[in-house]
A and B are shown apart, each in its own frame.
Chain A
């Protein structure tokens, strides 16, 4: 409309009447062409959006509802669409954005039969019989997974090592990245960290652009880093910054120049709570000019943490890491259990670590004398 108005205004200022008539026709033509171009661009944009189609031929009670959900790799599901069955003679059509392969499920209000499938093609056709609780579909990845599951059910009668070897072989050869990610939860390397590392590296090489595999790799690498690395006595301990009791950021850099004790605990860890009394004693025993203390709670619930801190009147700096094992405390200081602690020199070097509660006071005393 704006262009139309502008053309009209410009032409009326500059042309005689008969020319204006011709121009009017031209203006209309130009306007129509502009609209057509805009429409074609818009329509093209819409039509190039990747869309997958799922055609579901049902055998189910009429007026029942069928839900299409995506199974997220954290185990949760996200509802994508739903439809009411008014006839078993006409299939239901679901459309979904098909940016990358995923795992989906069909559920219904009819009964608790679920159909899990992998969206490895853009024109999935599913025959779903909710009466016999059976389904068939044209997804090579899904059919491969179902066949593998049947084989594994047989192998479950065999030795654990064969079952696990089959699982790894399947994961190493499966073509569908969604299937790989879906089955990954069953992979268990125990404390064979090197095996896990190599396995993840192989998957990352095969599916370099699949985001869930990238996420698995990052998660596994973080885990391996924590399990394989740790700070020893004599190492320089990095600083840590986290919110305190008043939700203000507190950094251990401000403890530079002082001997300090940093410990990691949680309200749900009885062994950690056993340290409370001795920490209170340490605070009373040693001069604040030479010694400091900071406690870091790995607690998902701030309310629980505050209740304990206030109840016990813990007066030294109290920090919280709500992400618990996924948070900056574990990732930065690389401890893999709580209670955990370090005694750190004024220069930031680890003087002692994992100090038992019974020897905490004597250990601090020894280094303060030095």
Chain B
């Protein structure tokens, strides 16, 4: 029995030690805790084993947009005096994070952001100050995963937090159209015409450029890019394995003559240009009020000479969810 108790005690001790080592660090910001600590406010709690905490900032794709980074001064009473805090972009922190976590975030190039001032002030009696970056999200390479390491370098009062004085900020840019949409329509095909009834997403490829899946062929890597210019969709560009050049694009009119047969019917009803599948409705436009796209595009495997030869024709209505 004594031996059993001894084993149990050792087991409990090991368990307690194991749990202690997994316990997360103290909360990032608690105004009632011990005062005088300067921390980056946006960082989530992190496990003791991680090198830095990381957070994501999603911004609109624009010529230039503000990214405010808040610095907290802990304690119920706020700063005892005006505190000048020096901030910095910490490239080595991002490198260290990538190495430790086997990630490959790309340091945001200096051409894509500006810092008006690296010093901020936390006024006496207040608890926060703001370090502001201006990000040129519209000029991003949207295939890259950008991030910045940010540090509180020094302060005229208080103590810079060891856990949350430096953090990693992933910066994601999204244009106004990136979202999930309910898509209905029809894909005309010489032998396999079918209805489109699916949830599809528009992904950001630029400030006004989006990437969409062709009909129901996203799984087969058929994509295209397009721009929204006011209410008009322009600059169609094939992506993925979608045929390029004159083999695909937006229609400017109905083209029922592109194929001798259409799906299960060669007749007038089940072919392009028959109500409701009319270019006059699906006219490659965007209605900002209802966040709805009307699209009409198509492709042919190869050797096409323009829209009159595209034997796959898609009429789609995209309604934002």
Contacts and interface: CB of A to CB of B under 8 A. Distances in A.
Interface of A: 59-62, 71, 74-77, 87-89, 103, 105, 110-112, 114, 116, 129-133, 149, 152-153, 155-161, 163-164, 167, 182, 185-186, 188-191, 196, 219-220, 223, 226-227, 266, 268-272, 298, 300, 324-326, 330, 336-340
Given A77-B219, A223-B191, A61 B270 contact: no
**The 10 A-B residue pairs with the shortest CB-CB distance in the complex, in nearest-first order:** A337-B267, A75-B216, A160-B303, A88-B102, A325-B264, A131-B104, A269-B269, A71-B219, A163-B302, A112-B203
A270 B278 CA distance: 12
Contacts of A227: 261, 266
A174 to B, nearest CB: 15
B117 to A, nearest CB: 30
A337 B269 CA distance: 7
Contact of A336 (B56, B104, B244, B267): B267
B274 interface: yes
B170 interface: yes
Contacts of A132: 104
Contacts of B264: 223, 226, 325-326, 330, 336
Nearest to A153: B241
B261 to A, nearest CB: 5
A131 B103 contact: yes
Q: Which of A76, A185, A190, A219 has the most CB of B within 10 A?
A: A185
A149 B241 contact: yes
B220 A268 contact: no
Contacts of A112: 201, 203, 211
Contacts of A76: 198, 216
B66 interface: no
Interface residues of B, number: 53
A194 B56 CA distance: 57
Interface in B97-133: 101-106
Contacts of A223: 191, 264
A62 B267 CA distance: 54
A266 B269 contact: yes
A223 B264 CA distance: 6
Contact of B266 (A157, A186, A337): A337
Interface of B: 54, 56, 101-106, 143, 145, 170, 189-195, 198, 201, 203, 211, 215-221, 241, 243-244, 247, 259-261, 263-270, 274-276, 300-304, 311
A336 B265 contact: yes
Given A160-B301, A325-B264, A190 B259 contact: yes
Contacts of A189: 190-191
A271 B265 CA distance: 15
A71 B54 CA distance: 33
Contacts of B274: 268-271
Given A186-B301, A269-B268, A338-B267, A60 B276 contact: no
B267 A340 contact: yes
A59 B9 CA distance: 41
Given A131-B104, A159-B303, 16 more contacts: A59-B102, A77-B219, A88-B101, A88-B103, A105-B219, A112-B211, A116-B221, A132-B104, A159-B302, A190-B191, A226-B264, A227-B266, A268-B276, A269-B268, A272-B269, A336-B267
B301 A61 contact: no
B103 to A, nearest CB: 6
Contact of A158 (B191, B198, B247, B302): B302
Contact of A185 (B203, B217, B243, B266): B217
Contact of B268 (A88, A191, A271): A271
Contacts of B215: 75
B136 to A, nearest CB: 20
Contacts of A89: 102
A345 B55 CA distance: 77
A163 B299 CA distance: 14
Contact of B261 (A160, A185, A190): A190
Contacts of A157: 302
B172 to A, nearest CB: 9
Contacts of A156: 243-244, 247, 301-302
Contacts of A161: 303
Given A156-B243, A185-B217, A270-B275, A163 B301 contact: yes
B219 A338 contact: no
Contacts of B218: 114
Contacts of A338: 265, 267-270
B193 to A, nearest CB: 8
A185 B192 contact: yes
Given A105-B219, A338-B267, A188 B276 contact: no
Contacts of A324: 270
12 contacts: A61-B56, A61-B103, A75-B219, A88-B103, A114-B221, A156-B247, A156-B301, A163-B303, A269-B268, A269-B269, A271-B269, A337-B266
**Residue of B261, B265, B300 with highest tally of chain A CB at under 10 A:** B265
